[in-house]
Structure 1
Amino acid sequence: MLMEPIPYFAFRDFPVGSEAAVQQALLQAVAGKSYILGKELKHFEEAYAGYLGAKAAVGVGNGYDALVLALKAVGVGPGDEVVLPVHTFIATINAVLQVGAKPVLVEPDTKTCNITAATVAPAVTASTKAIVPVHLYGQVCEMGPLLQLARAHNLRIVEDAAQAHGARYENKFAGTFGDAGAFSFYPTKNLGALGDAGAVVTNDEAIAQFVQMYRNYGEAQKYRSEVVGVNSRLDELQAAVLRVKLQNLDQLNAERQRLAAIYKEELQGTEELVLPVTAPGCGHVYHIFSIRTRRREALQQWLRVQGIYTAVHYPVPVHLQPAYRFLGHKAGDFPVAEELAQTSLSLPLFPGLKQHEQERVVDMVRKFFR
């Protein structure tokens, strides 16, 4: 008898009743008949800033735009160098290039997969304007030393917190340490909309005002443009959805953490398997549960035959992507990132994953290594 497939990710009604609450919020937003820059957006921005303990959250069209607008808001532009991890989703480097700056790639820590002050410091030059820490997989970077490094060299920090909603470092939320934090609310994120959506979070009033203008054609008021802006507005329907989902974020993250703890306990000591490592003081909300093995391809194929679907984050490092050949990098330049690309495998982990499904994943991973 064929077993029911286990998806890498699925949208399930967790906690129970959350889907009905989202649908009700949508109906109310439609009934409000104000679809752009209305009260739903204002309420979500206030709620998200309040949750994070930040002064402002500014809703934008998506997480990529959040990065671009945050970089522009802190003054990054042509001639500037921006230090960022080579092991990240391409949105991070694309945003740096979009504002005309030069991306300077650095290796992640081999255990946490995040950049650290130690990996960033050698890349800082007189032309460096900013650092973009990416809180990868849901784990906050070790922000204390990175902030010290930034202060020592008068650098701006724009956090890429697209995978770390609700994660904390020393009891402070990801996205609130630097000059600005960029969030994505892509549907599969820990806090996900029903389409593309994003936000810039900041404690700097000038940055918030700039993003508010820039996202709306650069207008300070109707038909009066102060800067040459773009159209990148978080719409009312997505804002209504996010405000409801935000109420469950801590519960959703706790469920991810519970599932991750089971994986760690049950797979501990499995031959050739490297499990996620969390740095001291760093919180992890497990947007992704990535294991590592030199037999990655064979393991992934084995699991698929068993009806278990997985993902790879990320199969080709940024410096080896065809689009970035002009940066002049080659294979061997970033051995840690290249090893991660060859060995990482993300297991199914999402709120609503059933006990028997996770037990089957664990059982099949163990069987592969026997």
Structure 2
Amino acid sequence: MRTAPSPFAAFVSLVIASGGALIGCASALDGTTGAPDEAVVDESEDAISAAACLFGRTRQSLEASRALTLGPVTRITAASALDEYRKVEIAAGIDGLTTPAAVLGFVQDGELFVRDVTEKASGRVFSYYRYSAGDNPHGFVMAKGTGARVARIGDDSVYECKVSARAKAQVCLFGQTRYELDEKAGLSFGKETTIRPTTSLSAIRKQQLVLGIGGVTNAKDAVLATDDDLVKVRTITDKKTGKAYTSYRAHRGDNPVGFVFAQGSLDLVVIDSDESLYQCLVEGPCVPSETAKAHFVGRLAPDSVYYAASSEADGEAYRDPQGRTVVWLAKTSETATKVSYTGGVNDLWAQRFDVSKTTCGVTVTAEH
């Protein structure tokens, strides 16, 4: 699985450590429901159960969790110099207050305390805020650098939690490319619908949109930040487990981008950039033949045809009866740990590579 961060958000380095999310904040999306063929089916908006919440049931469990690393505490007052990302976090942290000034005017003694919280297994980073109001302890947790609130704290209890514990997948359920994500065996795909600036959305979908697009403060602006002012969305279900995921895709700067969430939550489980998948947090089966085809063949051009060759010689000798370009792939050998393949175009081999049987990682061994 590739580990390089997605390039489709300029502020990525402030949002993720080794495996975080690219997100913004959510607010009301004005407008009416889109046309019938563009209607978006809402999933449950229920928060994750206390038992499944990454932060536990209480403030004390959050601060003592062995699954989390807590950074140093920073005190914020009206005199503090805040960068744009911190302003967005604070403005979205408390319901009904939409600016840092309003928040600092509301909290007791005009002060907030914030620290980074990092999930060790995935590298996801959050901003954990504490404050007092009416002599009672309160707080909120934001996906770092954004306005997506993932939990609230009141009287030392954690509630409205929207993230569960995750770890980086050794083998990604969705594959390594958008091609696999769209067609992978073992997954079922719902009808794809269109979100436009005027489409009415549930609260969770608003947050998912701004969380995935990044650099925006509401869902309408998230849609407007795409090249065509539209985002495609559909449900993907793991046939084996029955777990459902919400998959979004769009174009930004002429590049295809996308992101997938565990349905009904703010668990960003994979990022799609330039048709490659990154930061996958859902484990899946390793099928070397699927990985090999996705790696070398990918999505065929209209004037091309795929041929499953029995050998390199067979691939180089095959000719399409309709005269189309032939992209062929042949399994050449297999050991206890890897499967070897050769891929070619028409009468020439182009690449030889191995696929690990345990991780489905690809190692190129030779190229023409």
Q: Taking structure 1 as the reference length, what is the TM-score of the superposition? A: 0.27
Higher relative contact order (Cα pairs below 8 Å, separated by 6+ residues):
1
Q: Which structure: greater helix fraction?
A: 1
Q: Taking structure 2 as the reference length, what is the TM-score of the superposition? A: 0.27
Q: Which structure: greater strand fraction?
A: 2
Give the structure with higher Rg (CA).
2
